[in-house]
Amino acid sequence: MKRVPIIFVLALAAPMATGYEVKTHSSITLNAQQQARIKTGGAASLGELGVNVDDFSSLSLSYFDMSGKSATRRHVWNFEQDLMAGIDPGSVAGWILRGAIREDDLDMAGCIFNSAVMWVHGNGTSGCNPQDDPYGNFSRVVNHFFDPLVNPSTQAGLPMAKSAPSWALGVVAAFATPLAADTSRRNHFSIIDARRSMLYALRGRDASGNAVSSEDRKAYWATAFRSLGDAMHLVQDMAQPQHIPRGGASGQRFRGLYRRTRQRQTQLSHQRPRGPRVAAARLLRLSSSTYQRILRLIQLRKRRAARRQDRPRRL
């Protein structure tokens, strides 16, 4: 009897991932950047800070990966450029897109497993991201989950993982008061790191107070915009039922509703067309019904939580 590699057994058992692909994240982020004030109304103020959003050579082709007071220089790769739809890698848009692309980084084992799942489900294979993390390669995607109804401060759905809001902000718990920075965080491209990089770029001094060169100041700007792209990626993930942890009851209900809605949409798309008005009316009714069911589910969860809190405890 031939032995089957364990990676293919797991791939057969795993459902096909239906979250946004990296190229989709890149497209959504580019559209957001082009409509943002940084592009349409903030060019003058950014110009005063030494950043020109229309000058493709205004930023560096390297950036910093910071941990505490140490900063390791990293460089651009063709992997990212191939997913940028022709955007110059040194521009503001290029660095924001780079963050949105690299936020889905996997370690080598994760790359192999992801390619195996795609191959088994008939979607070809995917190229692996560069294994260039100076502090050790790991799969960032395990920190992309969040259940807003079940323990929102820490719920991640996977062991040793952080919830997406806490991961994005770089804090211990995103909804704690007051917020506390996670000093041992593994995400070096959080909102905290974006602000640190911006500060170093503005004052021309690093974390230790040492003066930096003009090229290093551009690299700090690049780091700030890359970190912004990572955060934008996580915001996009929060719009998907696939990023609710599988262990939570609310996650199971939302995913079940999502699957039924997709199945219904598929059925409608395969029916004989009866004109654009009829099709539009059907889709409108379907969307309205789904939205109302989601609202009722959220209200039900809140009422149940309130009843549990009001229930007297047994001595």
Please indicate whether residue 210 or residue 270 has the higher confidence score (pLDDT).
210
Residues 70 and 193 in one domain: yes
Residues 232 and 270 in one domain: no
Looking at the predicted structure, is the pLDDT value of residue 24 above 60?
Answer: yes
Question: pLDDT by residue (tens digit) across 282-308?
Answer: 555 555 566 566 667 777 777 787 777
Q: Which domain holds residue 253?
A: 247-310
| Model pLDDT, residue 29 | 93
315 occurs within a structural domain:
no
Distance CA 211, CA 200 (A): 9
Please indicate whether residue 31 or residue 18 has the higher confidence score (pLDDT).
31
Residues 169 and 284 in one domain: no
Distance CA 260, CA 269 (A): 14
Q: Where are the alpha helices (DSSP H) in 184-314?
A: 191-203, 214-237, 249-270, 276-310
- At residue 64, the 3 state secondary structure works out as strand
Residues 287 and 174 in one domain: no
Looking at the predicted structure, is the pLDDT value of residue 98 above 70?
Answer: yes
Residues 10 and 129 in one domain: yes
Query: pLDDT band at residue 261, thresholds of 50, 70 and 90?
Result: low
Question: pLDDT by residue (tens digit) across 58-81?
Answer: 789 999 999 999 999 999 999 998
| Model pLDDT, residue 10 | 38
Q: How many domains would you assign to the chain?
A: 2
Copy the structure tokens of residue 300: 């039900």
| Model pLDDT, residue 3 | 46
Residues 174 and 31 in one domain: yes
Residues 299 and 183 in one domain: no
| Model pLDDT, residue 270 | 59
Distance CA 231, CA 29 (A): 10
